[in-house]
Structure 1
Amino acid sequence: MGYFLRTLQLLSTCVTISLVGSLDSWTVPTSNWSFVILCFCFLVTLIILIIELLALQYHFSFSWGDFLLCHACYLALFCLLVSIIYPATYVQFLPCNPSRDRAIAASAFCFISTVAYATEAIWILGWPRTGDFTGYIGSLPFLLKMLETLVACVILPFISNPYLYMDHPFLVSCVAVYSICFFLGIVTILLNLADCENRLPISSSTFHLVLSLLSVLLYIGALVLWSLYQFDGKFGGQPKRSRDVSCQHRLTNYVCIWDQRLAVAILTAINLLIYVADLVYWAHHVSVGTEDQPRDS
């Protein structure tokens, strides 16, 4: 069953990559983002298939079941995002011609990839070898961390246009915040999957609490700076959508600049709320752990 699903994933992502790559859309940020995400999905699935064909998974020190479930959940959500964002930000602006038909076909095959990855996740959850799972996948910390990285991944195509932030150093710092927090989230998930948190000089709860607090502070700064320098006229921003020339006419075949700025602001606020929930969880976890410790007489 696993080999069948991964073969379907490889075929569907390969067809989608071919269709997206055949379109003349390299100047469209969301199209490039979709192409990179699909290539990443294809490459990871191919590596996993090769590892299982050679039976190399038994030589790894981490839980292979956790890794497969994490891989299936992430790639299912990635493909789902592509199948939604790609038509909404690019396909709908195309005129009725063969290029539009190929773009619609690419969206359809991407949705097939989503179904294939989601089916694999459901199949892994029903695996009889439950001892292969450590319990981290499916827990609230993992779900929050997965949402944080997914929202950050959605922000990336909108900030891939340098015109949005290159004129102001503070806006460049916002892009750095998105990249740093995304990287920290991926590292945290990998540390949990590899069960390396016990090797840290501080406790696992304190480590997560510090990271969550740092991410919340960074995202608060990013939300404030992005909103001021993009929408406040005193700081050179554009408070009204009607003033953006790219939004007045169909001069482009993708989402206009002002809408991209608004999308980044909304996604930043959403991710900030997720980080706050993560911070509250770990603060409660640390406080309960502290209260449960015996006090010195």
Structure 2
Amino acid sequence: MDPQGGHYLNKAAVLSLLGAARMTQLLLGCTIIALVTHSAGYNHAYGIFCMFVWCFCFAMTLVVFTMDVTRLPCCMPISWDNLTVAFSMLATLMYITASVVYPVYFLRSRCSGESCEERNYRIAVTVCSSFCCFAYAAEVFLTRAKPGHVVGYMATLSGLLKVIQAFVACIIFGALANGSEYTRHIPTQYCVAVYSLCFAITVLVVAVTVSGKTSALRIPFDRFVIIYTFLATLLYLSAALVWPIFSFDKKYGTPGRPDDCPSENCPWDSKLVVAVFTHVNLVLYFSDLIYSQRIRFITSSPA
């Protein structure tokens, strides 16, 4: 007991729906890592990516859960509520990606004899990873902004959309790096500049919010976010028009997938991925802009 009669440990971090969600995340994450390292396997780049997702999310969840139980966030110069909700949103997206990528690349071949045991382990990994998506989504649902409650910016729909926008931009960068041939035309290089600029500022907004330094900006945070979101929407709109023209128009690119294009590392496929997710991010930024008109920002997390 402390001098004021409070407990050193936070029982609510365990005996609550949020605590149950985090313990489920830890249990499933530990199970996935054990199955993969035991027999399921994670060779090739895609398997390494999935293993990174599972290990990173498990480690971060363990840190978050431990610090909540021990009440250490009150001693840290950051906005803890903004940090945890941003991480849970990111972890949800990462787990969804891993839950799709892993079975696509590790459950394609038929099994026979001893390989069937390995396949069964991989099926178990896929099932556990899929269930863990719901555990992280449940945390997002429990910590999101609710009518009448004062919360940090990252708990609002606009804040959650910022995390999704940055994640989608990472998918675009991955496709750009995978032989997209974006350097062939100046307009496609302009699109890459748009993706990079919007990603950098979005990450900056999230970082400033999590650090609790929004009041350090020379203009009000709400005005800065709305102006940036408006400009990002216009920039993505231009990229959504320019990229398909210089990638799939007969004059500059190839309308259809070439017959001699390899099944993996095909430039046309990468261009298509960039085009699709450019439009996805355009919708996300436009939705963010609309929602930003309806909320009242706060410059610090609630006590």
Match of 2:287 in 1: 277
Counterpart residue type for residue 190 of structure 1: A
1:196 corresponds, among 197, 206, 213, to 213
1:70 pairs with 2:80: no
Counterpart residue type for residue 74 of structure 1: L
Deviation (angstroms), 1:116: 3.0
Match of 2:300 in 1: none
Given the superposition, is the C-alpha separation of residues 109 and 279 from structure 1 closer, same or farther in structure 2, using an over 3 Å criterion? same
Could you tell me how far apart the structure 2 residues matched to 1:16 and 1:267 are?
A: 32
What does residue range 118-267 of structure 1 map to in structure 2 within 5 Å? Answer: 118-121=137-140, 134-161=151-178, 163-165=179-181, 167-168=183-184, 170=186, 171-235=188-252, 237-241=253-257, 243-246=258-261, 252=263, 257-267=267-277
Could you tell me how far apart the structure 2 residues matched to 1:31 and 1:238 are?
A: 31
Structure 1 stretches lacking a partner, 5+ long: 289-297
Q: CA deviation digits over 1:58-97, x for unaligned, max 9?
A: 2023443343233223312321232134434x346x3214
Counterpart residue type for residue 271 of structure 2: R
Deviation (angstroms), 1:266: 1.3
Match of 2:76 in 1: 60
1:81 corresponds, among 97, 104, 112, to 97
Given the superposition, is the C-alpha separation of residues 103 and 256 from structure 1 closer, same or farther in structure 2, using an over 3 Å criterion? farther
Q: CA deviation digits over 1:171-198, x for unaligned, max 9?
A: 4553443343233223212323443222
Counterpart residue type for residue 145 of structure 1: K
* Structure 1 SS opposite 2:212: coil
Could you tell me how far apart the structure 2 residues matched to 1:6 and 1:140 are?
A: 23
Given the superposition, is the C-alpha separation of residues 110 and 79 from structure 1 closer, same or farther in structure 2, using an over 3 Å criterion? same
Deviation (angstroms), 1:265: 0.6
Given the superposition, is the C-alpha separation of residues 39 and 173 from structure 1 closer, same or farther in structure 2, using an over 3 Å criterion? farther
Deviation (angstroms), 1:148: 1.7
Q: CA deviation digits over 1:115-144, x for unaligned, max 9?
A: 33234445657xxxx99x634344232233
1:95 pairs with 2:109: yes
Q: CA deviation digits over 1:153-182, x for unaligned, max 9?
A: 443443341x11354264455344334323
Q: Is the 8 A contact 2:29 2:54 kept in 1?
A: no
Could you tell me how far apart the structure 2 residues matched to 1:86 and 1:240 are?
A: 28
Could you tell me how far apart the structure 2 residues matched to 1:265 and 1:48 are?
A: 36
Q: Normalising to structure 1: TM-score of the pair?
A: 0.72
Could you tell me how far apart the structure 2 residues matched to 1:122 and 1:200 are?
A: 30
* Structure 1 SS opposite 2:44: coil
* Structure 1 SS opposite 2:153: coil
What does residue range 22-41 of structure 1 map to in structure 2 within 5 Å? Answer: 22-26=41-45, 31=47, 33-41=49-57
Deviation (angstroms), 1:21: 8.8
Structure 2 stretches lacking a partner, 5+ long: 1-13, 297-303
Computed over aligned residues only, the root mean square deviation of the Cα atoms, in angstroms, reads 3.7
Could you tell me how far apart the structure 2 residues matched to 1:179 and 1:244 are?
A: 32
Match of 1:109 in 2: 128
Could you tell me how far apart the structure 2 residues matched to 1:140 and 1:117 are?
A: 16
1:11 pairs with 2:30: yes
Could you tell me how far apart the structure 1 residues matched to 2:267 and 2:183 are?
A: 14
Could you tell me how far apart the structure 1 residues matched to 2:124 and 2:100 are?
A: 13
Q: CA deviation digits over 1:209-253, x for unaligned, max 9?
A: 332133224323433342133212322x21112x2423xxxx64x
Q: Is the 8 A contact 1:73 1:118 kept in 2?
A: yes
Given the superposition, is the C-alpha separation of residues 66 and 181 from structure 1 closer, same or farther in structure 2, using an over 3 Å criterion? same
